[in-house]
Amino acid sequence: MTGHYGEGVDNPCDTREWVEVILESKEFRDPSIWSSPKMSADLLLTRRDSAGQDPLAPYLWENAEAFATLTPHFDHGPYGKNSKQITYAVITDSRAHLSARPFRLFSVSLLIFGLHFCVAISDSAGTALSPAQHLWDDLGVLGRIVWRLTHELGPADLGQDPTARELNEHSVSALQAGNIGSHEEHPGVPHPFPVYEVSMGQGDRRWHTRGQRIWSSLSEYLPARGSELWHALDRGSGKVVALKTIWRSGVLKIHDTVYEHPGVAQWDFGADVVFPDTGLEDDGAPQVLPHV
């Protein structure tokens, strides 16, 4: 099944489709993730244009918008007597999904177990499940879930951080044309597509990522830090900096004090991110360090 993105996204003509994971049993590990766990998902929801020439592309977590896990018996589902295996599989796949997708706040998955189904949403704090519903009695609900996943939901609805916006090729070309000096000043830092414009959810400071991520954590357990590290261009100063994004519990303080020690990168700026138009903090904490 395929569908079109909703309005207001950079690539409204892209389509999504469910791809069956039919690689050699469940021994496949995503080669793009260091120490990647085995993939347990049975279906991946991907953008049709993400396949390219690489035959493995449809099976990479970085190209997955969501995923589905199937089991033939209710007792093997999350509300059954033997729920440990599917619960562990969903959490493990969600960890890999969150690690592979840049600026991802949560991961969405559809679970079908026997004649029942539910939706799981996982973030760095844990996993929440919707109530179990019956395939035939609630077939309309299942249809609406699948329709919205494939046709209506935008990137932010599926977990993309709304304060980190992926720029289209036209925007990237305009940035390159307007910042020739900054690009020549740091020739060793690549600037390929995709590029993300990162903000704090408020204020006018903006950073543009450059190249692939330097680091993305794959935590063994939840809750996790969910840290990412990028080269980024500070739009205000024109300097290339190290941009670090982490998830933190509300009871913990931003760990800016660690950068007071000798031999550690100099702290430039950092704060909790605020969701646009809501004033609510998303517990992500971008921190900016001068690029060395």
In a shared domain, residues 54 and 147: yes
pLDDT tens-digit profile of 245-272? Answer: 887 766 666 666 666 667 677 777 777 7
**pTM (whole model) above 0.85:** no
In a shared domain, residues 8 and 144: yes
Q: What are phi and psi of 173, to 5 degrees?
A: -60, -40
Q: Choose between 76 and 218: higher pLDDT.
A: 76
Q: Which of 158, 182, 216 is the last residue of a domain?
A: 158
Domain that holds residue 75: 2-158
Name which of 28-32, 223-227, 285-289 the model is least confident about: 285-289
pLDDT at 244 over 70: yes
Give the residue-averaged pLDDT of 217-242. Answer: 78
Q: Which of 135, 158, 181 is the last residue of a domain?
A: 158
Let me know how long the chain is: 292
pLDDT tens-digit profile of 119-167? Answer: 999 988 889 999 999 999 999 999 999 999 998 998 889 998 888 888 8
Under the banding of pLDDT at 50, 70 and 90, the label for residue 177 is low
pLDDT at position 290: 39
**Whole-angstrom distance between the N-terminal and C-terminal Cα of the chain?**
47
In a shared domain, residues 34 and 147: yes
pLDDT at position 260: 67
In a shared domain, residues 141 and 195: no
In a shared domain, residues 173 and 215: yes
Name which of 1-10, 77-86, 97-106 the model is least confident about: 1-10
In a shared domain, residues 142 and 6: yes
pLDDT at position 273: 77
Q: Choose between 279 and 1: higher pLDDT.
A: 279
pLDDT at position 56: 74
Give the residue-averaged pLDDT of 23-40. Answer: 61
Cβ atoms within 10 Å, residue 257 = 9
* Tally of domains within the chain: 2
In a shared domain, residues 116 and 187: no
In a shared domain, residues 119 and 186: no
- Between CA 160 and CA 186 the distance in angstroms is 29
pLDDT at 32 over 50: yes
Give the residue-averaged pLDDT of 204-223. Answer: 78
In a shared domain, residues 54 and 99: yes
pLDDT at position 287: 47
pLDDT at 204 over 60: yes
- Nearest in space to 287 (alpha carbons), one of 232, 213, 224: 232
Q: Choose between 187 and 181: higher pLDDT.
A: 187
Return the SS3 of 290: strand
pLDDT at position 67: 96
pLDDT tens-digit profile of 72-99? Answer: 999 999 999 999 999 999 988 998 898 8
In a shared domain, residues 82 and 205: no
**Distance, CA of 58 to chain centre:** 16
- Between CA 123 and CA 115 the distance in angstroms is 27
Q: Which of 138, 158, 178 is the last residue of a domain?
A: 158
In a shared domain, residues 55 and 195: no
In a shared domain, residues 153 and 272: no
Place of tokens 């469940």: 26
Q: What CATH number is attached to the domain comprising 281?
A: 3.30.200
